[in-house]
Chain A
Amino acid sequence: MNTMLSINNLHASVQGKAILNGIDLQVNPGEVHAIMGPNGSGKSTLANVLAGRDSYEVTRGEVLYNGENLLDWSVEQRACEGIFLAFQYPVEIPGVSNIYLMKAAVNARRKYRGMPEMPAVEFLKLIREKIKVVDMKEEFLHRSVNEGFSGGEKKRNEILQMAVIEPTLAILDETDSGLDIDALKIVADGVNSLRSEDRAFIVVTHYQRLLDYIVPDFVHVLAGGRIVKSGGKDLALELEKAGYGWIEIAPVAEAADA
Chain B
Amino acid sequence: MTTAVEHYVAARNALVLPGTGLDWLDELRNAGTRRFSEKGFPTLRDENWRYTNIRPILKQNFTPVAVLEGSAGRTEGLSQHLLPGLGAYRFVFVDGHYVQELSDATGPARGVVAMPMADAVTRGLDGVKTWLGACVPEDRGGFTDLNTAYIEDGLYLHVDRGCHLEQPIEVVFISTEPGGQLIQPRNLFVLGENTRAHIIERYISPAGRSHLTNAVTELVACRSSVVEHTRLQEEGMDAFHIGGVFIRLHGDARVVSNNAALGSMIARTNLHVALQEEGACCHLYGVYLGNGRQHLDNFTQVDHRAPKCTSNEFYKGVLDDRARAVFHGRIIVREGAQKTDAQQQNRNLLLSGHAEVDTKPQLEIYADDVKCSHGATIGQLDDSAMFYLRSRGVDETTARGLLTYAFAADVINKISSAPVRNHLEGELGRKMFGVGRPEELS
Contacts and interface: CB of A to CB of B under 8 A. Distances in A.
Interface string A102-127: 10110011001000000000000000
A180 to B, nearest CB: 25
B407 A74 contact: no
Contacts of A109: 393
B407 A75 contact: no
B395 interface: yes
Most buried by B among A95, A109, A165: A95
Bin chain A's interface residue count: 35 or more
A87 interface: yes
Nearest to B386: A75
Most buried by A among B395, B407, B409: B395
B22 interface: no
Contacts of B394: 76, 101, 104-105, 108
Interface in A38-71: 51-55
A175 to B, nearest CB: 14
B398 A100 contact: no
B72 interface: no
B396 A74 contact: yes
Interface stretch (B38-46, B168-176, B350-358, B434-442): B434-442
B409 A104 contact: no
Nearest to B399: A76
Given A93-B388, A93-B403, A94-B406, A100 B441 contact: yes
Contacts of B403: 93, 95-96
B388 A90 contact: yes
Contacts of A91: 382, 384-385, 387-388
Contact of B393 (A108, A144, A145): A108
A230 interface: no
Interface in B394-433: 394-396, 398-399, 402-403, 405-407, 409-410
A165 B394 CA distance: 12
B183 to A, nearest CB: 36
B388 A79 contact: no
B390 interface: yes
B165 interface: no
B440 A53 contact: no
Contacts of B396: 74-76
Most buried by A among B383, B403, B406: B406
Nearest to A81: B393
B392 A95 contact: no
Contacts of B410: 95
A145 B384 CA distance: 13
Contacts of B399: 76
A196 B390 CA distance: 25
Contact of B387 (A75, A84, A95, A142): A75
Interface in A139-186: 142, 144-145, 161, 165
B389 interface: yes
Given A91-B384, A95-B406, A100 B438 contact: yes
B390 A104 contact: no
A8 interface: no
A80 B396 CA distance: 13
A79 B442 contact: no
A9 interface: no
B391 interface: yes
A105 B393 contact: yes
B410 to A, nearest CB: 7
Contacts of B392: 79, 101-102, 104-105, 108, 161, 165
Most buried by B among A74, A78, A87, A104: A104
Contact of A144 (B388, B391, B442): B442
Given A79-B392, A108-B392, A93 B387 contact: no
A76 B388 CA distance: 10
A80 B395 CA distance: 10
A236 B408 CA distance: 48
B429 to A, nearest CB: 14
Contacts of B382: 91
Contact of B390 (A55, A74, A102, A112): A74
B382 to A, nearest CB: 8
B391 to A, nearest CB: 5
A100 B388 CA distance: 14
A94 B408 CA distance: 11
A142 B440 CA distance: 11
Given A100-B440, A144-B442, A75 B402 contact: no
A85 interface: yes
A74 B393 CA distance: 10
Contacts of B438: 100, 104
Contacts of B385: 91-93
A104 B406 CA distance: 15
Contacts of A84: 391
Contact of A80 (B387, B393, B406): B393
A138 to B, nearest CB: 14
Nearest to B413: A95
A94 B406 CA distance: 7
B393 A97 contact: no
Contacts of A94: 406
Contact of B402 (A52, A85, A87, A96): A96
Nearest to A110: B393
A141 to B, nearest CB: 10
A75 B390 contact: yes
Given A55-B383, A91-B384, A91-B385, A96 B441 contact: yes
Contacts of A78: 391
Nearest to A80: B393
B156 to A, nearest CB: 39
5 contacts: A79-B393, A87-B388, A101-B394, A102-B392, A112-B393
Interface of A: 51-55, 74-76, 78-80, 84-85, 87, 90-97, 100-102, 104-105, 108-109, 112, 142, 144-145, 161, 165
Interface of B: 382-385, 387-396, 398-399, 402-403, 405-407, 409-410, 438, 440-442
Task: List the 7 shortest-distance A-B pairs measured between CB atoms, nearest first.
Answer: A95-B406, A108-B393, A79-B393, A75-B390, A105-B392, A91-B388, A97-B442
Given A85-B391, A96-B389, 12 more contacts: A55-B383, A90-B388, A91-B382, A91-B388, A94-B406, A100-B442, A101-B389, A104-B402, A108-B393, A108-B394, A109-B393, A165-B393
